[in-house]
Amino acid sequence: MRRLTSHAAGGPETLVLDDAPDPVAGADEVLVRVAACSINYPDSLIIEDKYQYKPERPFAPGCEISGVIEAVGAGVTALKPGDRVMAMTGWGGLADRIVVPAGHAWTIPDAMPFDHGASFIMTYGTAYHALVQRAAAKPGETLLVLGAAGGVGLAAVEIGAALGLRVLAGVSSEAKLRVAKDHGAADGFVYPRGPFDKDGKRALASQVKAICPEGIDMVIDPVGGELTEAAVRGLSWGGRLLIVGFPAGIAAIPANLLLLKGASAVGVFFGHFTEVEPEVNAANMAALLDLYSAGKLRPLVSARYPLERGGDAIAALSDPATHGKIVVEMA
């Protein structure tokens, strides 16, 4: 099989397209012929040894795939060869074939194309877990989504709207604001790019407060950096900050702001959640697929690359103009 391989820690330019033996499904595993692999922020971290998990090299990045099951191992009864599936892989997805635990694969509706399947679990799973389990969101509450045109951000916009929340979008350009509104945001604002001096931080906080003067119930933050403090300043009494990621840097949150607002800073670690609460995750996936079948969720795939250009796909994550999901499609 072909795979895009990391042989040494480094950026996307260090990945090499090479051949490896086809994997074989063991007990409780399935062998998937990969059709598409979406690109996520952890892919850029794992190849530089900056992620929580550090697989033994050589390995292929790619933590989310879709495709067709070619074989199943002993003990697998819920899936069979020929099933169209999406799966969380951790890594290894930028390859023609991959073996995954059967419990990590989900059949997809006949109407779901493979690029949607490969773009679904991580972003929608993260956003749904954040809003339903971590924030206990209630219809009518206000949700601010930072990075609202990105993968997790846009999923949070759609899910928030589907759950009956008033969704506000924070984005870095007018074009991205239009994307967020097209996917269910009621309003939003464009924040400037940092770094921010003291006056710049105050102006940013004023932007957040202006979009919802009565206070924001929840903030989903997959961005980090100085946006985080500004978002906390806009929270209402009892508000919840949902911490998803830090591409702009790990924020230092003034604890006094949380105290004065009776607010909570809540971590959202989707990958570990799926391991320690698999039954809850299974219920989440069923609910999300129902929302997809009802037409309320639609992954936005903004760019597609062939496997040999998978490194370019990972590099594109850092392009400020990138929005929605980036997908690598196998030949």
- CA–CA separation, 331 and 328 (whole Å): 10
**Confidence tier at 193 by pLDDT (50, 70, 90):** confident
Please give the pLDDT value at position 131: 98
Q: Is residue 284 part of a domain?
A: no
Shared domain check, 24 and 79? yes
**Confidence tier at 102 by pLDDT (50, 70, 90):** very high
Q: Is residue 201 part of a domain?
A: yes
Shared domain check, 181 and 158? yes
Residue 87 has pLDDT above 90, yes or no: yes
What is the separation of C-alpha 143 from the centre of its chain, rounded to a whole number of angstroms?
Answer: 17
Please give the pLDDT value at position 151: 92
144-171 per-position pLDDT tens digit: 999 999 999 999 999 999 999 999 999 9
Q: What is the mean pLDDT of residues 83-92?
A: 96
Q: Is residue 205 part of a domain?
A: yes
Q: Is residue 282 part of a domain?
A: no
Q: Is residue 279 part of a domain?
A: no
Shared domain check, 99 and 186? no
**Confidence tier at 133 by pLDDT (50, 70, 90):** very high
Q: Which of 271, 288, 320 is the last residue of a domain?
A: 271
Please give the pLDDT value at position 104: 93
Shared domain check, 11 and 112? yes
What φ, ψ does residue 118 adopt, rounded to 5°?
Answer: -75, -10
Q: Please give the tally of structural domains in the chain.
A: 2
Q: Is residue 175 part of a domain?
A: yes
Please give the pLDDT value at position 124: 97
Q: Is residue 278 part of a domain?
A: no
User: Angle at Cα 19 formed by Cα 18 and Cα 20, nearest 5°?
Assistant: 125
Residue 202 has pLDDT above 90, yes or no: no
Shared domain check, 98 and 49? yes
Q: How many CA atoms lie within 13 A of 319 on its CB side?
A: 15
CB 128 within 8 A of CB 280: no
Please give the pLDDT value at position 6: 97
Indicate the range of 62-76, 164-178, 220-234 predicted with least confidence: 220-234
Indicate the range of 33-37, 295-299, 318-322 predicted with least confidence: 318-322
Residue 331 has pLDDT above 80, yes or no: no
In this structure, is the dihedral angle defined by the CA atoms of residues 68, 72, 75 and 80, taken in order, positive or negative?
positive
Q: Is residue 289 part of a domain?
A: no
- Domain range holding 41? 2-120+300-329
Shared domain check, 260 and 130? yes
Bridge partners (DSSP) of residue 144 are 168, 219
Shared domain check, 323 and 250? no
Shared domain check, 321 and 260? no
Q: Bigger pLDDT: 315 or 226?
A: 315
State the CATH number of the domain containing residue 211: 3.40.50.720
Q: Which of 250, 271, 292 is the last residue of a domain?
A: 271
Shared domain check, 260 and 129? yes
Mean pLDDT of the chain: 95
273-318 per-position pLDDT tens digit: 999 999 999 999 999 999 999 999 999 999 999 999 999 999 999 8
Shared domain check, 307 and 244? no
Please give the pLDDT value at position 53: 87
Give Cβ neighbours of residue 289 (< 8 Å, ≥ 6 apart).
Answer: 106, 108, 109
Shared domain check, 211 and 89? no
| The overall pTM is greater than 0.75 | yes
Shared domain check, 154 and 84? no
- CA–CA separation, 141 and 127 (whole Å): 16
State the CATH number of the domain containing residue 95: 3.90.180.10
- DSSP sequence for 150-194: SHHHHHHHHHHHHTT-EEEEEESSHHHHHHHHHTT-SEEEEPPPS
Please give the pLDDT value at position 293: 96
Above pLDDT 70, what percent of the chain? 100
**Confidence tier at 247 by pLDDT (50, 70, 90):** confident
Please give the pLDDT value at position 3: 97
Please give the pLDDT value at position 251: 87
